[in-house]
Structure 1
Amino acid sequence: MLSLYIPPGRPVADVVNMLRQEASISQNIKLKRTRDAVESAITTAIDRLVSINKIPENGLVLFCGENFDTGGFKCYMFSPPEKVTVYFYRTDKQFHTEFLEDMVEVSEVYGLLIVERDQGTIGVLRGSRIEVLEEMEGYVPGKHMMGGQSQRRIDRIIEELYHDFLKSFGEKVNNYLLPYLESGKLKGILLGGPGYAKKDFYDSDYIDYRLKKLILLPLIDIGYQGEAGLREMVMKSKDVLKNQKYIEVEDLIEELKYHLAKDDGLVVYGKEEINKALQMGAIDKLIIFDDGTEENEKMVQEAEKYGTKVYLVGDEIPEAEWVRKTFSGMVGKLRFRI
């Protein structure tokens, strides 16, 4: 059963070429029934892909294959409600739907807004993922050397440009966040920036009154725009977002680094060592880099039997690469030394 996730921006021709290479490799499968099933799934996926010109803005997902137990061949191709963030291909005994599950399960969304006099960033925090929706840039002049009537006229022009930018930013915020509000998912909005613009934006009616009610105080001083600024804002709002997965994972990673520096024996890594510690009930929290493998799914199920809190993380967490490279994708915090 073929599972294929394609992020936006990837050329269709590149994906089709990859599938054709996989079709050639599948000739080496010894079991005829399996070989025929894989070839059929790949051929059908190629046929579906060549019928489109480009990958949609949220990416594309394909599930194609024959169910040996119930019989019948199925092929689904669709663009999911949120952006595909991984390029993933696998033929297996089942479809890999885990990358879609976070889109369905996350019921709470926080809006993230950074605004200054001529720049703005709009994003959202969903579970463990921060997503930049749009970055805006306008033109609002700074100080000038004019005097008299010219000074007052230019000051008015600058004030109008400033007002126009905040108004445009507010309209974008409405477009992006009102659908989350109307679906009941929007939990709150964080608003920040480097100067006075965030307060001007908050004090005026640049956004829908329903969204304004959801802005969480205090407003946050942020030094950056873009994704870096959104991450800084989220980390500065720990008290407000303490139950969000993103914050929990970041805090756990900092805790792991602290124990590693102390060398106090409260960090465990290596699959064999983690399995032993799990069976002793010794692991309090476990981070697993989510590569979509069945082995990881089994590890999650095993860990939950022993009351271990498991965090499956991907590239949406800044330190996920550290977990993947340093600890081969798996590291845990122990309840006690063993």
Structure 2
Amino acid sequence: MKKWKAPATVLLSLYVPPGRPIADVLNNLRQELSISQNIKLKRTRDAVEAAISAAIDRLTQLPKVPDNGIVLFSGKNFDTEEFKCILFSPPEKVSIYFYRTDKEFHTEFLEDMIEENDVYGLLIIERDEATIGMLRGSRLEVLDELQGYIPGKHHKGGQSQRREARIIEELVHEFHKEVGDRANSYFLPYLESKKLKGILVGGPGFAKQDFVEGDYLDYRLKKLVMEPLLDVSYQGDNGLREMVTRAGDALKGQKLVEVQKALEEIKYHLAKADDLVVYGRKEIETAMDAGALEYLVVYEDDNTASLIQRAENSKVNLYVIGDEVPEAEWIRKTFAGAVGKLRYKL
């Protein structure tokens, strides 16, 4: 819903906390529906009225507000002409009453709820280059990329060489200090909210050791630096992925690591052509019913929602992914959004 945009304020977002009578909410919406008749532009007026009317229709079917409250999104996607009215109870309690029609749906209150509790800071450091990132569940994010100007070593001798070596050392120190300050600003809020579980530090050379041993990170963050420091060849997104892969057992149980492991195993069995990979809705459900499905990787969208629900009810080892996983498009296009590994051939 976050991706939907509109040329006018026609997308309705509604948050209702527990304890609020449904009748009160319906009265407010009916008042808004009456007010919307004053909108001059017919296309906008029709879209707002349709969004509010659909919301009223859905809410009248509820006897009361659930224990965690309700969230409702209603409106038309002007790019696709698709209309949706989605009503659900979120994973945590809604704390406010919020109603608005806008050019986008207001998902920010939900994002706080679904943010992973286990967060890992990621830092790739060289003498003149650094990448700061974050691992939240299966979402790997580049937060910042920094570059410093550190001149290469020269071949002069004597005092000139020693002087230039001191200058280079000072430049490296200043760059690492900048990286440390930036990393502190990103990681400390997660530490203070008790979500930061550890920090992975890596790089191609000895700079990572110098950085960790220096006083560049806040002392509270230094305690969370995980051993061993990792040899990483790249910067940027590729470097962060390499780091997470190399971390291995240190991140065991993290969703992204488990998903990547599952996908590598699927690729291995596809290459062997040993019939242990299953895809296609009918084939997956047959394997599920037979108890032969070891795990299932599903790209989450409207087309796979019912399959995800069925897998959850069957207690299959399920990995639900989004676009944050590099292979997401491959799974979506090649396997219609779902691919699994069998325990044995069917």
TM-score range normalised by the length of the shorter chain: 0.7 to 0.9
Q: Percent of aligned positions with the same letter in both sequences?
A: 50
Per-residue CA deviations over 1:201-220 (Å, capped at 9, x if unaligned) read 01111111110010001111
Q: In structure 1, what is the equivalent of residue 23 of structure 2?
A: none
* Candidates 319, 335, 338, aligned match of 2:343: 335
> Does the Cα contact within 8 Å between 2:73 and 2:87 map onto a contact in 1?
no
Residues 189, 278 of structure 1: alpha-carbon distance in 2 compared, 3 angstrom cutoff: same
Q: Which range moved further: 317-326 or 119-128?
A: 317-326
Partner of 1:157: 167
Partner of residue 266, structure 2? 256
Q: Tell me, in whole angstroms, the C-alpha distance in 2 between the residues paired with 1:263 and 1:273.
A: 16
In the alignment, the residues of structure 2 paired with residue 198 and residue 39 of structure 1 have an alpha-carbon distance, to the nearest angstrom, of 56
2:59 aligned to 64, 70, 73, which one?
A: 70
Contact 1:284 1:307 in 2 (8 A): no
Helix, strand or coil: the match of 1:92?
Answer: strand
**Residue number in structure 2 paired with 1:220:** 230
Aligned to 1:122: 132
Match of 2:326 in 1: 318
Counterpart code for 1:299 = L
**Aligned-pair CA distance for 1:189:** 0.5
Report what 1:170 is aligned to: 180
Contact 1:19 1:42 in 2 (8 A): no
Give me the whole-angstrom Cα distance separating, in 2, the residues matched to 1:312 and 1:226: 25
Which structure 1 segments of 5+ residues have no match? 7-14, 21-35, 47-62, 78-86
State the alpha-carbon separation in 2 of the partners of residues 19 and 149 from structure 1: 69
Q: Which of 135, 147, 150 does residue 140 from structure 1 map onto?
A: 150
Kept in 2, the 8 Å contact 1:266–1:335? The answer is yes
Partner of 1:309: 317
Deviation, 1:273, is 1.3
* Counterpart check, 1:5 vs 2:15: no
Check 1:90–1:182 CA distance in 2 against 1; reply closer, same or farther (3 A cut).
farther
User: Which of 229, 247, 272 in structure 1 is aligned with 2:257?
Assistant: 247
Shift in alpha-carbon separation, 1:220–1:92, aligned structure 2, 3 A: same
Q: Is the 8 A contact 1:190 1:216 kept in 2?
A: yes
Aligned mates of 1:112, 1:103 — CA distance in 2: 23
Alignment correspondent of 2:86: 94
Instruction: Specify the structure having the higher radius of gyration (Cα).
Output: 2
Aligned to 2:307: 299
- Distance (Å, rounded) in 2 between the aligned partners of 1:243 and 1:41: 49
Taking a change above 3 Å as real, the CA distance of residues 90 and 176 of structure 1, as seen in their structure-2 partners, is farther
CA distance in 1, matches of 2:8, 2:242: 38
- Alpha-carbon distance in 1 for matches of 2:292, 2:202: 41
Aligned length: 284
Structure 2 unmatched ranges of 5 or more: 11-36, 38-42, 62-70, 92-106
* Distance in structure 2 (CA, Å) of the matches to 1:64 and 1:105: 32
1:278-327 C-alpha deviation (Å, 9 max, x unpaired): 22222121111112x1x422211211222211111112111112111111
State the AA in 2 paired with 1:94.
I
Query: RMSD between aligned alpha carbons?
Result: 3.3
Matched residue, 1:283: 293
Which residue of the other structure, out of 201, 221, 224, is the alignment partner of 1:191? 201
Q: Would you say the 8 A contact 1:108–1:187 is kept in 2? A: yes
Q: Offset of 1:103 from its aligned partner?
A: 5.9
Question: How high is the TM-score relative to the length of structure 2?
Answer: 0.73
Is the contact between residue 4 and residue 90 of structure 1 (CA under 8 Å) also seen in structure 2? Answer: no
* 2:83 maps to amino acid: T
